[in-house]
Structure 1
Amino acid sequence: MPSVEFLRDIVVLDNAKTRPYRAAVERRKVDEILLETYTRHWYARDWLSKPPVTSNATGGTGQLPKRDPLYEKVAIVIGASSGIGAATATALAREGSRGPRCLTSRCSRGSEEAHRRSRRSETARWRSTPKASCLSFTVPFLLSCWKGHIVAISSDAGRKVFPGLGVYSARKFFVEATLQALRLETSGSGLRVSSFQPGNVATDLLGMSTDAEALKKYGEPSGDKVLDPEDVANAIVYALTQPEHVAVNEILTEHRDEPI
C-alpha cells in the first residue's frame, strides 16, 4: 500500500469547471442490451467462441468483421527498399498482409543464412517475391506447407527481344523459363507461380545502367505517361487475392501507348 507521505505528494486536479458538463452526460444503464453490445464486441475480437444469443442491440447480430483479402497472410518482399518492391510491400500491407510483427533484414541474393533466418519465421503460409536465385531456399518450405504463392518480377523484354537490349532480354527469358519450369514441375503441390512482365516503369532502374547506347535508345523521355510502381503492385495484389484454385500465371502490364 502507498504511504501517507506518498499520498500527500500526489497532485490533485480541480474538476470544478468540467463537473457541470459531466452531470449533463447520460450514463448508460447496465442492462441486457448493453451487455449484448459488450458480448458482441468480445466475440468480434475472438475473445469469445460464440456470438450473443440475442440481437436486440443496435448494430447487427454480432457477425465477425469483414477481413481484408490478405488478412493474416505473410509476405516476404525481396528488394522492398525502392521502386516496384517498395510499392508492392505497401500495397500488401494495405490489403491486410501482415503478422503479429514485422521482420526486416538486409541481405543479398547469395546470403543463404539470411534466407534460413527468414524460413524460421513462425508462419504457416508464405507469399514471396523472389529473384530466381532465391527459389532454392523458398520452394522446399512452400512445398512442405502445401500452400504458397511465388511472385517474380520479369519484364516485357522476357516476351520480346528489344534491339540493343539483347543481354537484358536474355536474362529475362531465363527468368521466364525458370518460372515456367517451376510451375509445371510443382503442379498439384498447392504452389502457385506468377510472372509479372512490366514495360517502362518510373523507377531508378535506368539510372543504374552503364549501357550508353541502350540509355540513348530507351532512356530519353518520350512524353508518354509510363507505368508507376503502384500500377505493377496493384496487378500483383490482384493475382494474390484470387481464390486458391485460380492461378494467374503471367501478367503483361505496359503503358497504353507502347504495346508490344
Structure 2
Amino acid sequence: MDLGIAGKVALVTGGSAGIGLAAARSLAREGCAVCVSARDPERLADAVVGLQEFGGVVHAVLADVEDPASAARVAAETRDVLGPVDILVANAGGPPAGRFTDKSLEEWEVAIQRNLLGTVRLIHAVLPEMRSRGWGRIVTVTSRSAREALDGLALSNATRSGVAGIVRTLAREVGGDGVLVNNVMPGPIATDRLRELAGGDEGLAGRAAAVPVGRIGEPEEVGDVVAFLASERASYVNGVSLLVDGGESRVIA
C-alpha cells in the first residue's frame, strides 16, 4: 500500500533506538525526508547510517526534550535543512518506574518536563506551519499506561494520560485545518525499556505468556502503525489513542 507521504518531512524525537528508530525507519521507507533527534550522540550517528539505506535525505539533531529550549531548536534546524515539518512523531523514553509514594517532587518535575511538556513544546514548534499549509500529522507515542493505570508506574500513568488528553483536545481544535493528531499506546515491545522493567530476558518470557498473541511485540510493528497514522491513507483518523499491545489490555473502551 502506498501511504502517499513520499517527499514529506518527518521529525522523530527519541529516534535513535527502539520505537522511535522503528518509526523513523518506517517513514524513511515510505520516502519521507527524516530528521531524528535524541540525546546519545553515538546511537544517533548509528541511526543515521541505518536510515540512509532507504535512499532518502536524513538529518540528525542532538537534543534532549527535557530541555525547554530544545523543541524550538530541533524544529528550526529541521526546517533549515529539510524544510517545514509535515509529520511530527513525538516520542520520549519512559520515566523511571516506582510507586507514587516513592517518587520525589524532583522526579515528578523531570517526568513532566520530558514526557508531557516536551510533547507540548514540540507541537507548539511545528503546528503553526502545518495549519498554514493545510496539512500535517502529529503522532504521539505514549504507553498502554495512558489508557490503563499500571502498578508501579506512577510517573508514566500520569504523564502519558496527560498526553492522551492533549491529543484528544487538539484533534478537535485543528482537524478542520487539515492537521490530524493521534496517539499510539504500545504495550509489551522488545525494547531496552521493557527489558529493564521486566528484569531481563527471563522476565520478558513471563510477559510474553500474558499476551494473547503469545509473544512480545517488535518495535517495527509499532513503527508501521505510526507511519500509517502519519499517512494520507489515515485521512479520517483523528483524535485516536490506539493500543498496539497484542491484546494484552482488558479495557473495553
- TM-score band w.r.t. shorter chain: 0.5 to 0.7
Of 61, 72, 85, 2:20 maps to 85
CA-based RMSD of the aligned residues comes to: 2.8
Whole-Å separation in 1 of the counterparts to 2:14 and 2:234:
26
Of 161, 171, 179, 2:159 maps to 171
Question: Per the alignment, in what secondary structure is the counterpart of residue 72 of structure 1?
Answer: coil
Measure how far apart 1:174 and its partner are: 0.7
Measure how far apart 1:240 and its partner are: 2.4
Question: Per the alignment, in what secondary structure is the counterpart of residue 221 of structure 1?
Answer: helix
- Equivalent in the alignment of 1:138: 126
2:229 aligned with 1:250, yes or no? no
**TM-score, L = length of structure 2:** 0.65
User: Closer, same or farther in 2 for the Cα pair 1:177/1:202, shift >3 Å?
Assistant: same
Measure how far apart 1:234 and its partner are: 1.4
Whole-Å separation in 2 of the counterparts to 1:84 and 1:128:
14
Measure how far apart 1:207 and its partner are: 5.3
Where does the alignment leave 5 or more consecutive residues of structure 1 unmatched? Answer: 1-65
2:142 aligned with 1:151, yes or no? no
Where does the alignment leave 5 or more consecutive residues of structure 2 unmatched? Answer: 35-55, 92-118, 210-214
- Equivalent in the alignment of 2:222: 232
2:73 aligned with 1:113, yes or no? yes
- Report if aligned partners of 1:69, 1:96 keep a CA contact under 8 Å in 2: no
Measure how far apart 1:241 and its partner are: 2.7
- Report if aligned partners of 1:148, 1:191 keep a CA contact under 8 Å in 2: yes
Measure how far apart 1:165 and its partner are: 2.0
2:231 aligned with 1:221, yes or no? no
- Equivalent in the alignment of 1:16: none
Measure how far apart 1:167 and its partner are: 2.5
* Deviation larger for 193-202 or 138-147: 138-147
- Report if aligned partners of 2:187, 2:245 keep a CA contact under 8 Å in 1: yes
User: Closer, same or farther in 2 for the Cα pair 1:241/1:233, shift >3 Å?
Assistant: same
Q: Give 1:3-82 correspondences, 5 Å limit.
A: 69-82=4-17
Q: Give 1:99-110 correspondences, 5 Å limit.
A: 101-109=57-65, 110=67
User: Closer, same or farther in 2 for the Cα pair 1:159/1:68, shift >3 Å?
Assistant: closer
If each structure's helix is expressed as a fraction of its own residues, which one has the higher value? 2
Whole-Å separation in 2 of the counterparts to 1:86 and 1:179:
22
- Report if aligned partners of 2:33, 2:82 keep a CA contact under 8 Å in 1: no
User: Closer, same or farther in 2 for the Cα pair 1:68/1:152, shift >3 Å?
Assistant: closer
If each structure's strand is expressed as a fraction of its own residues, which one has the higher value? 2
Q: Which amino acid aligns with 1:94?
A: R
Look at both structures and tell me which one has the larger radius of gyration over its CA atoms.
Answer: 1
Measure how far apart 1:245 and its partner are: 3.9
Whole-Å separation in 1 of the counterparts to 2:234 and 2:216:
32
2:182 aligned with 1:194, yes or no? yes
Q: Which amino acid aligns with 1:148?
A: G
Question: Per the alignment, in what secondary structure is the counterpart of residue 105 of structure 1?
Answer: strand
Report the identity percentage: 25
- Equivalent in the alignment of 2:149: 161
Whole-Å separation in 2 of the counterparts to 1:67 and 1:172:
31
